[in-house]
Structure 1
Amino acid sequence: MKQLKLTGFVIFLFFLTESLTLSTKPQDVDDVSITKKFIEENVGYITIIIFAQYIQEASFEEVEMLVKTMTEYRDKCLADMTLPECSELANDVLLENICALEGLPQKHNFSHCCSKVDLEKKLCFFHHKKADVGFLPPLPTLDPEEKCQTYKNNRESFLNNYIYEVSRRNPFVFAPTLLTVAARFEEMTKTCCEEQDKANCFRTKAEPVIQYLKASSSFQKNVCGALIKFGLQVLEFINVAILSQKFPKIEFKELTSLLEDVSSKYHGCCEGDAVQCIRGRSKVMSHICLKQDSISSKIKECCEKKIPERGECIISSNKDDRPKDLSLREAKFTESENVCEERDANQTSFMAEFLYEYSRRHPELSTPELLRIAGVYEDLLKECCHTENPPDCYRHAEHRFNETTEKSLKIVQRECERSQNLGKEDLKYYYLIKLTKIAPQLSTEELTFLGKEMVTALTTCCTLSEEFACVDNLMDLVLGELCGINENRNINPDVDHCCKTNFAFRRSCFEGLEADKAYVPPSTFQGLFTFHTDLCQAHKEELQRKKDRFLVNVVKLKPDIPDAELRSLLTDFTNVVVKCCQAEGPEACFNEEGPKVAAKC
């Protein structure tokens, strides 16, 4: 049951709309005015998110200057909406004001974006975002007592700073999600500042907030990557699969109507237009609750809740029960004589309806698997509709679908067997080596993150009854992280091919990848084998991070070393730390032992 909630949470995140100051009265179905009020009340937070995501290098003081400007703009327009500048789109006004900040475009190297107009300008700022945030300083940490005093002294500045720091480190996360994270952070701060053991309280309560942000980020990057690299149709097919599984009793016509709202909001959300994203999400929520009788029997209580709770409730609600009269197979797509004629009449709508019918009948399958089956069916019809007897050809479609699922199932079973045989730590090292060899161009930070995420997916899912869908969904999100959002992200030809050729089949494509043969390793990695006494002071998690980074950097330096030897070097690293941290002169010990490890490499 726990994993059903987790999978639903990850896959359904894009419906969430929450805020710091949104009205807590029960939501009216038509919430346009409430959404407008929310945007007006949160203009400062929204400004920080947009600015910090577009210009991650900007200082907090520079962000505060823009907040002041945008707050004045809001007040001026609330007083007189007939002013010419008040008819402009909020995001356009904000970008104009970013460009107007004296010296800032030159300082942070985005003046070329300011010379563009309309969509080109917005896309230029979007492409300025950097997924790898290794160039930013470590996230500032305050002592719990100091944190509580700062919050008490100046709540607004404290929250503004928090939103700024989180936003610049998560440039592709949707604005409503970041507002939710900030709301939870404030709630956590209020609670923990009343506790005697503040440090333990913050540690315990921060974990679910971090997990929520990571899950949201992963899903949003995945769907935005699909939209930007493959276009709106692939995004719509993803949503068809998700919604049909979540709401199996929804009629296809109603699903199509809902999809218009869901898909239309993605351009704004993915490009960083926070205002359009918030409005789009609010429209989706209203649509679902307005038509709840024909969509799902599981969300009645959710739609009666106050606004901040409603989104969470719908996300965590179980998939609706499959209608009792729903047959196990839809004969229309495999047994009808007129399949080719219907397909030719409107191919996109026909394929969407096939995916809808197959998805609502197969709640046990993952979203990528449903897209693979749709791809197999589309290819089959291309083949069959050119034969003399098409019905005789596509009548065996179910056999093709089963074959496809069997292949995917074997990949998952193999991964889970490896997970059980190796154990958590060795499994991580396996993926760190594998990922670094196939994509050595990625930063050490990215590779260590991806390796850990692969392990999380397997250790979370491999003991569950719904193992296949869980593993396939979560590992697909990791590949989405690897491939990135920006269409101009290039890693190496083999990885790029898997990322850009076919969204549904990229998992099997990555399965076949070997080490990048064209990669030219650096002649040396400065300081890689130079160890210091800071290793003795590092707590367990920090030492583990250093160990992971060491392994990745060794693979980058010597990609041809066999896996067994890499593991041996890792053992040497661990032994040196243990030996030297127990020695009378740790620094001298490290100076002596470091070169020995280097010599083995």
Structure 2
Amino acid sequence: MKQLKLTGFVIFLFFLPESLTLPTKPQDVDNFGTTQKFIEQNLGYITIITFAQYIQEASFEEVEMLAKSMTEYKDECLANMTLPMCSKFPNDVFMEKICAMEGLPQKHNFSHCCSKTDFERRLCFFRNKKADVGFLPPLPTLDPEVKCEAYKNNSGSFLSNYIYEVSRRNPFVFAPTLLTVTGRFEEMTKMCCEAKDKANCFRAKAFHVVQYLKALSSYQKNVCGALWKFGPQVLKSIYIAILSQKFPKIEFKELTSLLEEVSSKYDVCCEGDAVQCIRGRSQVMSHICSKQDFISNKIKQCCEKTIPERGECIIYSNKDDRPKDLSLREAKFTESENVCEERNADQDIFMAEFLYEYSRRHPELSTPELLRIARVYDDLLKECCSTENPPHCYRDAESKFSETTDKSLKIVQQECEYLQNLGMDDLKYHYFIKLTKTAPQLSTDEVIFLGEEMVTALTTCCTLSEEFACVDNLVDLVLGEICGVNENRTINPAVDHCCKASFAFRRLCFATLEADKTYVPPSASQSLFNFHIDLCQAHHEELQRKKDRFLVNLVKLKPELTDEELRSSFTGFSNVVDKCCKVEAPEACFSEEGPKLAAKSQAS
């Protein structure tokens, strides 16, 4: 496998006038140069990320073809920069070259996107991305010695192939995050290839890299889903809550300025415009670092880091302490006589300031809960401001906020009680059954992934002092996975309603969902109960996955069974495996026991 040869293309990239926001301040010039240098150094990886995320089925050899096409384009523009095609955005150039690759659009079924232009084409490529990557082969696993030898012989090619495989399986992850993951993978490879026990080193280090990628992927998909389904106003509300909690001493005016940068840059990241995403995030982080005295005193070390570690460090930095002079309540929103007048003067600014003031005073609440409270307050004012005595009406706003939080808190407490009473394994099976009955249209692998994520959220959070915020935030990310990024995602009427009706209240909506009444199960299939010797040959993790798949597929086949009946059949399956794998003729045992279990399940 050849390493990408993209040296020189970087020269051309920065002559694209429309792609640049020209710096005006000294610190902006410095940041611009630093960001430009980082993109130059990583352009090969950026090309791979862009191509692999847009066309997930494409081979690595096809990525190399794109690199060649881009090099030819660069040569043309360097020879004559006045050509109209040389003034386009980098992402549009990528798309045009992808579409121009002979036979590729037809082969991978994206010709319909190539027939569009500008925003419509970018949106089409975005919608073409598939979150469920079951159509891709399993991620290649190499023996540690082979892996280390490959890295030693050609580290560039080795890492290029890695970022290609990771990008096509994570089509909605932002380019800066994937570049950070690749950097961590390289550090891990260097370290583990020097270790005596390479296998254990890779296993331990890889776990942390994978968890980091999963966490950022889930968050980014969730926020992009909010942007595409509900529009930029919801995105702004999310970041008002996040930034106000994280930096409680920030002034509202400064927050508004920062928010404009965040909002204007986020859509390019969601679209998959890698170059603009890197530039945009760098600008936002430079803004934060240039205003440390007014924003936070806990990010100094982060601001000394390089791209993209600086951004990741700031994102993961601890919340600042609440200013000592900040009262627990902001009276102007519940006790002032002029609330309705101020709201009517500029509703967006008024509600933004309310969310800012409430968020910075309540670090113990989750982002979704803060959005719920803002929605409750907005609905209350719509009602109160049409009455004869508005102040009397909105005087009890705080009690309504408490009611909303109490409802959310009870859901979290119930979920943590499930963990305490059931334990991790039974809790996982509980969610497999619940999720499959609620959304049987999801693939088996999706249900297993979501169920495991629910368990991870609860085991991570239910023993923490900030239990409520932690659980509510992480479970909301799982719901984001169910709802998907694309606005045209559809599962069934009830789930679709929860996903599309309200971003803030979808958690409470999902909590009330029951089994999907529109679902028609497949005709009874005996293949589910046709067991073979491969069950005896599977390693522990592989066998557990087969058992998980059996349970989910059983629920899809027999959704009318009660949870107890499903658990009984699942236990019966485990017992059959244990019994038959101990005898001399497992196949004969399975042939006898499988139909018995099928008959028992049918009779339930």
Partner of 1:360: 360
Q: Trace 1:263-282 onto structure 2 (pairs within 5 A).
A: 263-282=263-282
Relative to structure 1, is the Cα distance of residues 355 and 307 closer, same or farther in structure 2, using a 3 angstrom cutoff? same
3-state SS of 1:592 partner = helix
Answer yes or no: is the 8 Å Cα contact 1:30–1:286 preserved in 2.
Answer: no
In structure 1, C-alpha distance between the alignment counterparts of 2:67 and 2:149, rounded to whole Å = 24
3-state SS of 1:120 partner = helix
2:334 corresponds to which letter in structure 1?
A: T
Q: Trace 1:135-146 onto structure 2 (pairs within 5 A).
A: 135-146=135-146
Q: Trace 1:322-471 onto structure 2 (pairs within 5 A).
A: 322-471=322-471
Partner of 1:103: 103
Matched residues, number: 575
Partner of 1:173: 173
3-state SS of 2:147 partner = helix
Answer yes or no: is the 8 Å Cα contact 1:244–1:360 preserved in 2.
Answer: yes
Relative to structure 1, is the Cα distance of residues 326 and 77 closer, same or farther in structure 2, using a 3 angstrom cutoff? farther
1:560 corresponds to which letter in structure 2?
A: E
Partner of 2:541: 541
Answer yes or no: is the 8 Å Cα contact 1:29–1:289 preserved in 2.
Answer: no
Partner of 1:518: 518
In structure 1, C-alpha distance between the alignment counterparts of 2:122 and 2:369, rounded to whole Å = 34
Q: CA deviation at 1:124?
A: 0.8
Answer yes or no: is the 8 Å Cα contact 2:281–2:311 preserved in 1.
Answer: no
Answer yes or no: is the 8 Å Cα contact 1:40–1:74 preserved in 2.
Answer: no
**C-alpha distance after superposition, 1:548-590 (max 9, x if no partner):** 1111100001100111010011111111111111110112222
In structure 1, C-alpha distance between the alignment counterparts of 2:461 and 2:78, rounded to whole Å = 51
Q: CA deviation at 1:424?
A: 0.5
Partner of 1:113: 113
Which is further off, 62-71 or 98-107? 62-71
In structure 1, C-alpha distance between the alignment counterparts of 2:522 and 2:380, rounded to whole Å = 47
**C-alpha distance after superposition, 1:464-517 (max 9, x if no partner):** 111100000000000000000100000000000000000000011011111001
Question: Unaligned regions of 5+ residues in structure 1, if any?
Answer: 1-26
Q: CA deviation at 1:313?
A: 3.1
Which is further off, 81-90 or 383-392? 81-90
Q: Is it true that 1:285 corresponds to 2:285 in the alignment?
A: yes
Answer yes or no: is the 8 Å Cα contact 1:580–1:590 preserved in 2.
Answer: yes
Q: CA deviation at 1:50?
A: 1.1
Answer yes or no: is the 8 Å Cα contact 1:365–1:469 preserved in 2.
Answer: yes
Partner of 2:65: 65
Q: CA deviation at 1:30?
A: 3.8
Answer yes or no: is the 8 Å Cα contact 1:90–1:275 preserved in 2.
Answer: yes
Q: CA deviation at 1:78?
A: 6.3
1:271 corresponds to which letter in structure 2?
A: E
Partner of 2:488: 488
In structure 2, C-alpha distance between the alignment counterparts of 1:79 and 1:103, rounded to whole Å = 28
Answer yes or no: is the 8 Å Cα contact 1:44–1:70 preserved in 2.
Answer: no
Q: TM-score scaled to structure 2, two decimals?
A: 0.93
Partner of 1:14: none
Q: TM-score scaled to structure 1, two decimals?
A: 0.93
In structure 1, C-alpha distance between the alignment counterparts of 2:596 and 2:402, rounded to whole Å = 54
Answer yes or no: is the 8 Å Cα contact 2:282–2:311 preserved in 1.
Answer: no
Partner of 1:191: 191
Answer yes or no: is the 8 Å Cα contact 1:366–1:470 preserved in 2.
Answer: yes
- Relative contact order: is structure 1 or structure 2 higher (C-alpha 8 Å, sep ≥ 6)? 1
In structure 2, C-alpha distance between the alignment counterparts of 1:302 and 1:450, rounded to whole Å = 33
Which is further off, 386-395 or 301-310? 301-310
Q: CA deviation at 1:156?
A: 1.6
**C-alpha distance after superposition, 1:108-153 (max 9, x if no partner):** 1111111110001111111111111111111111111111111112
1:88 corresponds to which letter in structure 2?
A: K
1:217 corresponds to which letter in structure 2?
A: S
3-state SS of 1:320 partner = coil
Q: CA deviation at 1:322?
A: 1.0
Q: CA deviation at 1:170?
A: 0.7
Identity of aligned residues (%): 79
Answer yes or no: is the 8 Å Cα contact 1:218–1:478 preserved in 2.
Answer: yes
Which is further off, 157-166 or 357-366? 157-166
**C-alpha distance after superposition, 1:329-385 (max 9, x if no partner):** 001100111100110111111101000000000000000000000000001001100
In structure 2, C-alpha distance between the alignment counterparts of 1:319 and 1:30, rounded to whole Å = 28
**C-alpha distance after superposition, 1:157-213 (max 9, x if no partner):** 211111111111111111111111111111111111111211111001000000000
Answer yes or no: is the 8 Å Cα contact 1:372–1:505 preserved in 2.
Answer: yes
1:585 corresponds to which letter in structure 2?
A: A
Answer yes or no: is the 8 Å Cα contact 1:43–1:71 preserved in 2.
Answer: no
Answer yes or no: is the 8 Å Cα contact 1:551–1:570 preserved in 2.
Answer: yes
1:518 corresponds to which letter in structure 2?
A: T
Partner of 1:554: 554
Relative to structure 1, is the Cα distance of residues 175 and 331 closer, same or farther in structure 2, using a 3 angstrom cutoff? same
Q: CA deviation at 1:327?
A: 0.8
3-state SS of 2:223 partner = helix
Partner of 2:501: 501
In structure 2, C-alpha distance between the alignment counterparts of 1:465 and 1:378, rounded to whole Å = 30
3-state SS of 2:529 partner = coil
Relative to structure 1, is the Cα distance of residues 79 and 206 closer, same or farther in structure 2, using a 3 angstrom cutoff? farther
In structure 2, C-alpha distance between the alignment counterparts of 1:204 and 1:577, rounded to whole Å = 30
Partner of 1:255: 255
In structure 2, C-alpha distance between the alignment counterparts of 1:84 and 1:29, rounded to whole Å = 27
2:348 corresponds to which letter in structure 1?
A: T
Answer yes or no: is the 8 Å Cα contact 2:35–2:307 preserved in 1.
Answer: no
Answer yes or no: is the 8 Å Cα contact 2:258–2:284 preserved in 1.
Answer: yes
In structure 2, C-alpha distance between the alignment counterparts of 1:312 and 1:487, rounded to whole Å = 28
3-state SS of 1:318 partner = coil
In structure 2, C-alpha distance between the alignment counterparts of 1:72 and 1:440, rounded to whole Å = 49
Q: CA deviation at 1:433?
A: 0.3
In structure 2, C-alpha distance between the alignment counterparts of 1:497 and 1:223, rounded to whole Å = 18
In structure 2, C-alpha distance between the alignment counterparts of 1:356 and 1:485, rounded to whole Å = 26
1:392 corresponds to which letter in structure 2?
A: H
1:96 corresponds to which letter in structure 2?
A: E
Q: CA deviation at 1:69?
A: 2.4
Partner of 2:318: 318
3-state SS of 1:42 partner = helix
Answer yes or no: is the 8 Å Cα contact 1:132–1:446 preserved in 2.
Answer: yes
